[in-house]
Amino acid sequence: MARTGRPRAFDKDEALERALLLFWSRGYGETSVQDLVDALALERGSLYGAFGDKRQFYLAAVRLYWDTYERRLLAALEAGPVLPALREVLTHPARAQEYASDVGVPQGCMIGNTTAELVPQDDEAREIVARSHARFTRIVADALRRAQAGGEVTQAATPEAQAQLLLFTVQGLSLVSRAGLDTSAALAAVDALIDALRA
């Protein structure tokens, strides 16, 4: 099934990445199709032809966001002690805040943003978000299970409960940080949680 016809003049993956940054920093509703057209330097028709409508485009960007995040999460947890890695994972959105003085720099976690903006009314978005939550807790719970067995993490709670608590904390930290964060206070809170997990 060899494809013929005029070849696409832009890189689809690169366009999706750019769109991801735009959607991430402005959200779904505040990003107009015109904004995308301007930022991606392509015409409306090309965009619709390549990605379908705005909603599908956004959801594709969210999927790309999560895939990237999951890869980094796995890499951070796969080797070495778990607690320092988790501290890094939790702290990441807090320190991303430092760059946020620049215009257009993404704010918060895109999964969290999507949860707030689309989930109540969009079943497909809900599925993506719920799946991301499930994968996060599963990956983290697996790491915590190993760390409990190795004596690094307390067995006062199940790995699943601890992982769920960590999900709440990342999402909460990432959300609260949008309103301007006292970085040292946030770090102290994260440290308090990490300490509480220590065996």
Partner DNA sequence: CGGCTTTTTGTGCGAGCGGTCAAAAAGTCC
Partner DNA sequence: GGACTTTTTGACCGCTCGCACAAAAAGCCG
Interface ranges with DNA (CB under 7 A): 2-10, 31-35, 42-46, 48-50, 53-55
Report the first-to-last Cα separation within the chain, whole angstroms: 59
Closest CA to 192 of 91, 59, 51, 77: 91
* Residue 61 to residue 50: CA distance in whole angstroms: 13
Which of 144-148's residues contact partners 24+ apart within 8 Å by CB, and which partners? 144/82, 144/197, 146/82, 147/81, 147/82, 147/83, 148/199
Near a second copy by CB under 8 A, which window of 11-19, 40-48, 63-71, 190-198? 190-198
Which of 55, 119, 145, 152 forms a contact with a second copy (CB under 8 A)? 119
The entry of a second copy, DNA, none near residue 74 (CB within 5 to 8 angstroms by kind) is: none
State which of residues 11, 98, 124, 195 lies at the interface with a second copy (CB under 8 A): 195
Closest to DNA by CB, 22 or 173: 22
- Location of structure tokens 């199940």: 158
Does 133 interact with a second copy (rule: CB under 8 A)?
yes
- Residue of 116, 135, 139, 145 that binds a second copy (CB under 8 A): 116
Which does residue 3 touch among a second copy, DNA, none (CB within 5 to 8 A, set by kind)? DNA
For residue 26, state whether it binds a second copy (rule: CB under 8 A). Answer: yes
User: Of a second copy, DNA, none, which one sits near residue 13, judging by CB under 5 to 8 A according to partner kind?
Assistant: none
**148 binding a second copy? (CB under 8 A):** no
Cα–chain-centroid distance for residue 95? 14
Q: How far apart, in Å, are the Cα atoms of 89 and each of 59, 81, 135, 165?
A: 24, 13, 15, 14
91 sits near a second copy (criterion: CB under 8 A): no
User: Are 15 and 40 contacting, i.e. CB atoms less than 8 angstroms apart?
Assistant: yes
Of the candidates 25, 31, 91, 97, which one interacts with a second copy according to CB under 8 A? 25
Which residue in the block uniquely carries the two structure tokens 């980094």?
72
- Please calculate the CA angle 119-124-126 and round it to the nearest 5 degrees: 35
For a second copy, the binding residue among 15, 107, 143, 147 (CB under 8 A) is 107
Q: At closest approach, how far in Å is the CB of 9 from DNA? A: 3
